[in-house]
């Protein structure tokens, strides 16, 4: 699904990605983890074509993404911070995105799932962070692309909406989709992920299942395994 070879990215003198090699197969949920500044967002944005790498190759579904924007139609993306036009109403934004991409009726099911009906006539600038995130989720999941990228999807969600999101992610996985997630919430990652990729200072430190990580670090649980990696590398 996604193949990354020898990916480097520099911002000025700051080398954020240092030769990342990563293959993500079709179907399954992959979490990209790492401390702040490890290169997670740069890696995700490189796959999306929002950041141009200094060196290296990225292919999505066998297509080299360099100078090629058509592959983006294969991706649904939930950004960490949704900067919506504050004067638009929720229903206007949903209609606009539907018109831009292609028609879908999935928005109605998702609006019902996340109980957004009372907010459809409200302006986006007047919504709470949690409600904006639900709108963000509807916009991401209302299309049917094979690759879904979710950057910190749990931000601001109440417990019931979090359960709904987890169910939604699992349903998409059952359809054979590939889902890439970044998150700081370890319990969420542990619950939904098939594999994790741990980035540290621009390089992949670990790729595999959570149980493999526990074995590698000789730790009883996921949080201790992650803490062990961080303490070993800052000792």
User: Regarding predicted confidence, which is higher, 111 or 234?
Assistant: 111
Q: What is the pLDDT of residue 1?
A: 87
C-beta separation of 146 from 178 below 8 A: yes
The Cα-based distances of 209 to 148, 222, 225 in angstroms read 20, 10, 12
Q: Which residue ranges form the domains of the chain, and what is each CATH number?
A: 2-233 (3.40.50.300)
What mean pLDDT value characterizes the chain? 91
pTM, 2 dp? 0.92
Q: Which of 165, 178, 157 lies closest to 47 in space, CA to CA?
A: 178
User: Regarding predicted confidence, which is higher, 214 or 233?
Assistant: 214
CA-derived radius of gyration, the chain: 18
Average pLDDT for 130-141: 94
How many Å separate Cα 9 from the centre of its chain? 19
Task: Give the model's confidence band at 234: pLDDT under 50 very low, under 70 low, under 90 confident, else very high.
Answer: low
Segment 31-53, tens digit of pLDDT: 999 988 889 989 999 999 999 99
Segment 79-112, tens digit of pLDDT: 987 788 899 999 999 999 888 877 677 899 999 9
C-beta separation of 191 from 162 below 8 A: no
């Amino acid at each position: 699904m996604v193949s990354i070879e020898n990916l480097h990215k520099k911002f000025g003198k700051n080398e954020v990605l240092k030769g990342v090699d990563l293959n993500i197969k079709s179907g399954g949920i992959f979490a990209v983890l790492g401390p702040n500044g490890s290169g997670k967002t740069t890696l995700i944005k490189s796959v999306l074509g929002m950041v141009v790498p200094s060196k290296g190759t990225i292919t999505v579904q066998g297509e080299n993404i360099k100078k090629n924007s058509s592959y983006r139609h294969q991706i649904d993306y939930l950004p960490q911070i949704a900067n919506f036009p504050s004067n638009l109403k929720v229903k206007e934004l949903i209609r606009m995105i539907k018109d831009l991409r292609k028609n879908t009726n999935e928005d109605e099911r998702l609006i019902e799932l996340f109980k957004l009906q009372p907010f459809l006539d409200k302006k986006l600038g007047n919504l709470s962070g949690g409600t904006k995130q639900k709108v963000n989720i509807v916009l991401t999941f209302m299309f049917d692309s094979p690759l879904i990228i979710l950057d910190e999807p749990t931000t601001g969600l109440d417990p019931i909406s979090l359960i709904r999101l987890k169910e939604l992610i699992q349903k998409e996985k059952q359809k054979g989709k590939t889902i890439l997630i970044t998150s700081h919430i370890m319990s969420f990652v542990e619950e939904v992920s098939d594999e994790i990729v741990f980035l540290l200072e621009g390089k992949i430190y670990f790729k595999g299942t959570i149980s493999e990580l526990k074995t590698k670090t000789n730790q009883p649980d996921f949080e201790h395994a992650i803490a062990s990696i961080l303490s070993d590398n800052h000792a």
